[in-house]
Amino acid sequence: MTFNDMMALIKKFIDVLLVWMVLYYILKNLRKNVKMIMLFKGILIILILKIISDLLNLVTIGYLLDYMIMWGPLALIIIFQPEIRNVLEQLGRSQLLGRHKVLTVDEREKVVYEIIQAVEYLKRSRIGALIIIERDNSLSEYIEKSKKLYADISSELLISIFFPNNPLHDGGVIIQGDKITSAGAVFPTSDNLKISKRLGTRHRAALGISEETDCISLIVSEETGRLSMAISGELHYNLTVDDFKMMLLDELRPKKTILMNEEDEEVSEDDNNEAV
């Protein structure tokens, strides 16, 4: 095999890989967006009608479908401009080098401990709270519009932020790594029609930001003191403190490790045993 043949093969591989990446990203976001699902169904119906019209030689409907297919992409760009903008914003928020900071085992346990200590107090006192933990998708857009803190995470600080009459208690707290980056952050509310009408703005905001990014949204209900967690557009409602802690530990645990030596593997196994 010559050098040119190898280069041609590599180019084809890259071409196919990019196509699969685009398809994966589209399908991944398709399941979270009702409008995109309806759009996909509409395109599928048009293509089926086009095939049927060609097979049966239906001239009139064939002409109409040809015009729809010709001008359809332009119409879709105009009609679905907000959805396209949201997809591009998600691409812009993605951090190519991964999450803001990969926590060590000790750092992860400290973060979870401080959050759980604060959450337990807020639950007992019926104090509402919204805590957002950044992962791979950057939350810099919301950090810029909130009150920046850049403080070490502690249960006392979290409790004081959400304490009634505190100027920042109505917004959300953003955590990056083991730091409280900002407070008083405002997030988009979810348009999901399946959400119970009993849930307030805090739960809808937590679900909304989890639909747009891969963050972990933690909620303490002000009315009932119930604990909830929103991940990937799914709301886990009314969790016990133990379930809340286990889910948080699991979500903060690194999902992929490129290189791990024997010592790191032993530490990881000990961490799993402690979590169980």
In tens, the pLDDT along 244-259 reads: 999 999 998 876 543 3
Q: Which of 86, 46, 94 is nearest to 214 (CA)?
A: 94
Task: Give the residue-averaged pLDDT of 110-130.
Answer: 94
Q: Which of 152, 166, 85 is nearest to 113 (CA)?
A: 152
- CATH number, span 105-275: 3.40.1700.10
The whole-number pLDDT of residue 64 equals 85
Of 59-63, 106-110, 193-197, 258-262, least confident by mean pLDDT is 258-262
> Can you tell me which residue has the tokens 């403080």?
151
Q: Could you count the other beta carbons within 10 Å of the beta carbon of residue 233?
A: 17
* pTM of this structure: 0.63
Q: Where in the chain is the domain with CATH 3.40.1700.10?
A: 105-275
| CA 60/CA 228 separation, integer angstroms | 55
Residue 203, pLDDT > 80, answer: yes
